[in-house]
Amino acid sequence: MTLLSKALHTNMDKAILKILNSEAGRCLIGITDDLPIVRYSPDWVEMWTGQYKNGKPLMKATIWTYPRVAEKILIPQTKLDIALSEYTELDPYKGFLHYSNLEPNFKKYPTIFLTAPFPLNPATGEARLIFNTSSTSWATARAAANAVSSDGVWDVHALGTVNPNIQRTLQPFNTSTIGAMNVSAANYQAFRNDARDGFANNIGTTLDVVPSQMVDPTAAALADYSKLTFTSRGNIALASTTDATTFTITITDFTEITGTAYTKYMMVLGVDVTNTDPGANNNQISCDNRSQTNPPKLNVTYTLAASRAGAYGFII
């Protein structure tokens, strides 16, 4: 087992947890909470809120649509582990700052090349699905079985009339390794970025989180365009969002959130949910995707299932 694969499969590795709980670690993965991080995977971190509910620890997890913890923490830590195996006198924390490019010091720390590093942006189900066939109707476009095309951009769009353009963005979160949980609160966060693909709110619509039934959450397909339920799990008025700013959508129904499989959502506009033809009025919102500075994330607060309640005695 390589050092990297060992890091990827050791949830309670003390060195990784120490880094994750440091100022540098939180900065790298984008965690602003000061709650202690007690567990992690390549895709998520789990924190203890310091509270109990029904006699069980109340936990909070932040999950990304790609292995952000692996990219930002586990790869630099693997390089540091290799360096420390040869140069034991090196300072571990300063070494991590070097290998994560926060505070490079090439005079003191050796250059480490990983021959088979964990992919920084692996194949993922996060994708924009586009139906933009001209000379058709809004109803045809909305009910189409397949998208015409797809890409990795985070963009949601709705234009009607005889040249409809409907764009839906898949958001699958790998929550499968968290374990059984009883969810009490959740929200979705994304960073609006008009420079990506533009913004328009000509009829005052909303951005909605709806359930997705995509077949493979690691590989989006054009057929996933129609694999959704037009039932909003939470929304925000486009008018309430601001360019270059993170917005939060409160999830009001937790049906899709699970700790034993992928949590699968799709982002759509409110007119798509209600089947309201926007006519020639363009409506659109663009956000950072997994490859950019502020990727979307799902925050979930929950208590542990009975079979796992004793696993966190060390944090009490």
Distances in Å between the alpha carbon of 22 and those of 67, 92, 109, 192?
Answer: 19, 12, 20, 28
pLDDT tens sequence across 162-197: 899 999 999 999 999 999 999 999 999 999 999 988
> Count of CB atoms within 10 A of residue 183's CB?
17
Distances in Å between the alpha carbon of 270 and those of 62, 78, 286, 294?
Answer: 26, 44, 15, 24
User: What does the domain layout of the chain look like in residue ranges?
Assistant: 3-34+66-116, 127-301
Mean pLDDT of the chain: 90
pLDDT value at residue 134: 87
Residue 231 has pLDDT above 60, yes or no: yes
Residue 198 has pLDDT above 90, yes or no: yes
pLDDT value at residue 7: 42
Local confidence band at 6 (pLDDT 50, 70, 90 cut-offs): very low
Q: Quick one: average pLDDT of 44-57?
A: 94
Local confidence band at 8 (pLDDT 50, 70, 90 cut-offs): very low
pLDDT value at residue 271: 97
Please tell me the pTM assigned to this model. Answer: 0.90
Give the integer Cα–Cα distance in Å for 280 and 262.
37
